[in-house]
Amino acid sequence: MSDDPPAPGVPAGPVSTVAEAIAKMEAIDAALPPADGVACFNRMYLDVTRQVNAQILGNFYSDPAFMTELDVTFANLYFEAVDAAADPAQVPEAWRPLVERRGDARIEEIQFALAGMNAHINHDLPKAVIDTCLKLATAPEEGPHYADYQKVDKLLDAAEQAIRQAFEDPVEQAIDRHVALVATLTCNWTMNAARDVAWQNSLRLWELRHLPGVDTMFLDGLAGSVAVASCLLLVAV
C-alpha cells in the first residue's frame, strides 16, 4: 500500500483519537474537489462523526470508552481505503467501486455518499466491532455495547434529512418538502437496517474468531457482496 497521502495536506496513516479522525476528515474535505466521490461520502461521515463525538463528550453513552475506541477503529478502516486511493488496485475490495468511479461526472453526489455508506457500514462496521472487542478484552454482547450501538441509530434518524438535503440543489429541495416524510422514513430504514445487519454479522464474526482462515473467508465474501451493491448504487445517470 502506498505511503503517499490521498491528497496534498492530508496525512497518511491511522489516527488514535476521535479528534484526530475529525481533523483528518476535515483535511480530506479541504483537499478534494466537492464533486469527488470520496469527498461526497467524507462530508456525510464528517458530520456524523462530529455528532457522535459530541455525544461521547456529553456522556450520552453508557460505556464511552468502548464507543470511543469503536469510533476510532471504524474511522481507520475508511482512512485505509482513502490512503490507498492513489492506487485503486490496493484499495480494499469493498471500497474499490467508489474509488474507481469517484471522478465520473455522470454519477450524482448522493450516489457516491450512499456507496461509501454501503462499504463502511456493511463491510467495515462488523470488523470494527470485533477489533474493538478484542482490544478492550470484552465481547459484543457484554454490558451496554449493543444498547450504545443502537443509540447511534437515533442520531442517524435525526441527522439523515439534513445530510440528504445537503446534496440537493434548490429545485430538488423544493420538491423534497412535499415528499420529506416518505423519503426520510425510507432512507432511515435503509441506513438503520444496514446497521442491524452489520451487528448480526459482528456476532457471526465473533463466533468465527477461533477458526483461523474461516473468519477471513467470511470477510472476503462480505467484501465481494458489498462491492457488487456499490456497483449497482454507482450506475451512471
Q: Is residue 12 part of a domain?
A: no
Q: Is residue 34 part of a domain?
A: yes
Q: Is residue 201 part of a domain?
A: yes
Rounded mean pLDDT of the chain?
87
The 10s digit of each residue's pLDDT in 160-212 is 666 666 655 555 555 555 445 444 444 544 677 889 999 999 999 999 999 98
Write out the residue range of the structural domain in which residue 211 sits: 18-233
Q: Is residue 29 part of a domain?
A: yes
Q: Is residue 187 part of a domain?
A: yes
What DSSP letter does each residue of 78-139 carry, written as one string?
A: HHHHHHTTTSGGGS-GGGHHHHHHTT-TTS-HHHHHHHHHHHIIIIIHHHHHHHHHHHTT--
Q: Is residue 6 part of a domain?
A: no
Q: Is residue 7 part of a domain?
A: no
Number of domains in the chain: 1
Window from 36-40, 152-156, 228-232 with minimum mean pLDDT: 152-156
